[in-house]
A and B are shown apart, each in its own frame.
Chain A
């Protein structure tokens, strides 16, 4: 259920070549870094997409993540994180930076850096299949920490310990956030499943 289904590498690499690729990339080998890009592009894009909600912005931020990663590979080496956890951290920070900049000119998207907006109308999607947009809307009703935990845990398929590494928290805190987040989501999804009182 939580296991990766396709298109992504496990956080703790199960590809024997990845450590070598990372070492070569740190030494300045573009082809090695491109191979790492191929491995992680889908997961980083997906993580960002569920935070920003539109493809052009998600694409833009995803590109920036890999450019930043290349420019700052030396700082990765001294941090001791798994490479994928380091990438997710860059992605998370890029999203937060994006919304900080965004805030200057445009109203903040509900729930990203502020408290959940009770006026956000999840009922609009009642009757539709739970697709990506509906998942994203539902996630907006959670706190920022809950959103990060659930996105990394279930959409990206990371283990609790791996999520803890990305977010810099203890595994116990991640489990607590996971349960509270799922409880909130269950309530949202559950209310969507209720029959239309008008009987349409």
Chain B
């Protein structure tokens, strides 16, 4: 081994054990560092290849196929590769014979063994052929796997037949011997699994014979008979229920006979939009949650096995989902036309959970929070007093709000005063309040879609408005910069804000206010909000002389105006699926909360008389 090879090996070992890093190794051998560095770097580059992995679907599918193969090709306790019995016994017998002074017996065995070995190459018509067939029967009698033995013998007969084809007398003998082998296979192995194995082997023999130009009508008839005995495994896959965001599939596997019993495996590939909730049968497992694999044993004739899978879908999903099931089993027991079935679910509307709207009841400079459902059922008229600018957590479990002047009068923990407060919403009640940030003049609170951050505006009198970004966990400040009315982009890494620096409009910024990109240029464009998918940006603006709701579609850049009336429409808020838009409007004589479709149609009242507010950033509703 060269010196460099030795050093390389040592360095690789030290790096592998974590004892050293690259620079340590190079420093240890400075005279070789120049040669060593590129070698170690190349090795490290190769190690990136360890990230390559097979797909979970492939792993599950192959595992199921392997199980099916193992069940249809069972192994026996290992037996040595076949050699004629007498030949195998020769050495042992010879030694024993001399040891026991039974020399004569040994010599007899020696002769018999030698003849047996020589006979193994004999063909029909040869003098030793009968000896060969006889020795095979002895071997067959002691072999642990009779089927394997008989198939091997049938292979031998095929080989002999193709060798002597064209020599009438020998061919006749070979045919008779082969027919005898076929008869043994038919009569001694009636079980379905065995017949599947036999059928596969005979098909291969048929191919070999056809290549040699030898016809064996008995083989063709036997294969035809076997094919009629094949089981018909049928698979049915149905969507049996779609309810409350759950899809239930029922898969039925039927052995229509006549072969019985049969083992099979079933693989169900779920749509990527589904999450497995439950499986009815302990024969099934889903290590990855993407694929369900079931091992089905003892499927008897005319019996069925029902499996039930339940999956959950994203409550906002609409469209079509496809779950595909594939039945695998011994090749000759599966009817290709029946081994795959797809179940299609068509979801025409998001899971119809009523939205929960926290609206702000305004009395000029004072605000309280109330909770109402989108079906107009008032859930809690006094969710929280002295509170404004509500924002739901993405999972609907918590609410953030601006604690206003006077909140400290509530006593207890509220003595901490104004600021950003968090409460848990449990059974429509606000529970476990905690102050996240102590701060006056907070409005326009927005909770990030990833649930980890809050952005809000601080609008202190006489001071430029600024935006702050904080962690929900501990209130740690992540960003502070000039601007107003922050709203989150769906990736939780960007905000859209109102700003006039340098031009008035809506701007996209990062969490420190940098990477600014102007989205709209209307001087009065205000109260932006992104839809969940990022496809729509809603905002209110006085572009036509009074406040209307606008929708900017990202895919084509088209600006849609949803309201057209002389009254004021402002502070739009998407529902959690981005299907509807809630807003504050005074179009009906007083300030109302209404909801409309994204084309401005079907506007209906959610709550009337919520009162005027001096700051719309405090009065904007929150919807979950």
Residue A123, interface by CB 8 Å? no
Q: Is B500 an interface residue (CB 8 A)?
A: no
User: A46 near B8 (CB under 8 angstroms)?
Assistant: no
A37-B66, A74-B79, A179-B4 known; A130 and B48 CB under 8 Å? yes
23 A-B contacts, Cβ less than 8 Å apart? A1-B43, A2-B13, A5-B47, A5-B50, A7-B53, A34-B63, A34-B70, A42-B53, A42-B54, A58-B54, A62-B62, A66-B66, A74-B75, A74-B79, A135-B46, A135-B48, A154-B46, A160-B9, A175-B8, A185-B45, A185-B46, A186-B42, A190-B38
Contact B66 A67 (CB under 8 A): yes
* Inter-chain contacts of B4 with A (CB < 8 A): 179
What residue of chain B has the Cβ atom nearest to residue A67's Cβ? B69
**Chain B residues positioned under 8 Å from A59 (CB to CB):** 54, 58, 62
> B590 in the interface, Cβ–Cβ < 8 Å?
no
Is A87 at the interface (CB under 8 A from chain B)? no
14 more CB-based (< 8 A) A-B contacts, given A5-B47, A30-B74, A49-B52: A1-B12, A2-B15, A5-B50, A7-B53, A28-B75, A28-B76, A42-B59, A45-B58, A50-B52, A58-B54, A62-B54, A67-B69, A73-B75, A74-B75
Chain A: minimal CB distance from B57 (Å): 10
B78 touching A73, Cβ below 8 Å:
yes
Q: Give complex CA distance A75, B71 in Å.
A: 20
How far apart sit A127 and B400, CA to CA, in the bound complex (Å)?
Answer: 47
B45 and A34 contacting across the interface, CB-CB below 8 Å: no
Measured in the bound complex, the distance between the Cα atoms of B535 and A109 in whole Å is 45
A71 proximity list for chain B (CB < 8 A): 73
Quick one: closest A residue to B65, CB to CB?
A63
Interface string of A139-182 (1 = CB under 8 A from B): 00000000000110011010010000000000010011011001
Q: Are A74 and B48 in contact (CB under 8 A)?
A: no
Q: How far is the CA of A132 from the CA of B52 in the complex (A)?
A: 7
**Residues 502-544 of chain B, each 1 if its beta carbon lies under 8 Å from chain A, else 0:** 0000000000000000000000000000000000000000000
Residues of B within 8 A of A45 (CB): 52-54, 58
Does B338 reach chain A (CB closer than 8 Å)?
no
B47: chain A residues within 8 A (beta carbon): 1-2, 5, 154-155
Q: Return chain A residues, CB-CB under 8 Å to B23.
A: none
Q: How far is the CB of B617 from chain A (nearest CB, A)?
A: 45
Task: Say whether B41 faces chain A, with CB atoms less than 8 Å apart.
Answer: yes
Q: Is the interface of B mostly helix, strand, loop or mixed?
A: helix
* Count of chain A residues with a beta carbon within 8 Å of a chain B beta carbon: 56
Q: Which A residues are CB-close (under 8 A) to B12?
A: 1-2
In the complex, A163→B52 CA distance in Å?
20
Q: Is B355 an interface residue (CB 8 A)?
A: no
Q: A1-B44, A41-B62, A74-B79 are in contact. Are A135 and B49 (CB under 8 A)?
A: yes
Residue B77, interface by CB 8 Å: yes
How many angstroms between the C-alpha atoms of A45 and B54 in the bound complex?
Answer: 7
A57 is an interface residue with CB less than 8 A from chain B: no
Contact A2 B52 (CB under 8 A): no
- Residues from 1 to 49 in B contacting A, C-beta threshold 8 Å: 1-2, 4-5, 8-9, 12-13, 15-18, 38-49
Establish whether residues A172 and B1, one from each chain, have CB atoms under 8 Å apart when the complex forms.
yes
Q: How far is the CA of A88 from the CA of B98 in the complex (A)?
A: 45
Task: Provide the residues of chain A in CB contact with B398, threshold 8 Å.
Answer: none
Residue ID in chain B nearest A30 by CB atoms: B70
Q: Determine the chain A residues whose CB is within 8 A of the CB of B62 once the complex forms.
A: 37, 41, 59, 62-63, 66
Contact: B63 with A186, CB < 8 Å? no
- Do B49 and A155 touch (CB < 8 A)? yes
* Cα-based distance from A3 to B44 in the complex (angstroms): 11
A34 touches B38 (CB 8 A): no
**In the complex, A49 Cα to B47 Cα: how many Å?**
14
CA distance A131 to B50 in the complex (A): 11
Q: Do A74 and B78 contact each other (CB < 8 Å), given the known contacts A1-B44, A41-B59?
A: yes
Does B67 lie at the interface of the complex (its beta carbon under 8 Å from any beta carbon of A)? yes
Q: Which listed residue (B41, B53, B66, B78) contacts A26, Cβ 8 A? A: B78
For B43, the closest partner residue in chain A by CB is A154
Chain B 484-515 interface residues, beta-carbon cutoff 8 Å to A: none
Residue B51 at the A interface, CB < 8 A?
A: yes
Residues of B within 8 A of A (CB): 1-2, 4-5, 8-9, 12-13, 15-18, 38-55, 58-59, 62-63, 65-67, 69-71, 73-79, 81
User: Which residues of chain A are within 8 angstroms of B18 by Cβ–Cβ distance?
Assistant: 3
Residues of A within 8 A of B54 (CB): 41-42, 45, 58-59, 62
Shortest beta-carbon distance, B34 to chain A, in Å?
11
Whether A70 contacts B75 by the Cβ 8 Å rule is yes
Residues of A within 8 A of B79 (CB): 74
5 closest residue pairs by CB, A with B: A186-B38, A1-B15, A28-B75, A74-B78, A30-B70
A41 to B52, CA, bound (A): 12
In whole Å, how far is A83's beta carbon from the nearest beta carbon of chain B?
15
B48: A residues at CB distance < 8 A: 130-132, 135
A130 to B51, CA, bound (A): 12
Contacts of B70 on A, CB cut-off 8 Å? 30, 33-34, 70
Q: Is the CB of A3 within 8 A of B42?
A: no
Q: Are A189 and B53 in contact (CB under 8 A)?
A: no
- Of all chain A residues, which has the CB nearest B74? A28
A155 vs B9: C-alpha distance when bound (angstroms): 16
- Nearest A-chain residue to B79, judged by Cβ: A74
Is A183 interfacial (CB-CB < 8 Å)?
A: yes
- A151 and B48 CA atoms in complex are apart in Å by 11
Contact indicator A155/B50 (Cβ below 8 Å): yes
Q: Does A38 contact B (CB under 8 A)?
A: yes
- With A3-B16, A189-B41 already in contact, the answer to whether A34 and B5 are too (CB < 8 A) is no
Nearest-CB residue, chain A, relative to B4: A179
Contact between B49 and A132, CB atoms less than 8 A apart = yes
A93: Cβ under 8 A from any B Cβ: no
User: Which residues of B have CB within 8 Å of A58?
Assistant: 54
Report A6 CB to chain B, min CB distance, Å: 8
Contacts of B74 in A (CB 8 A): 28, 30
Report B37 CB to chain A, min CB distance, Å.
Answer: 9
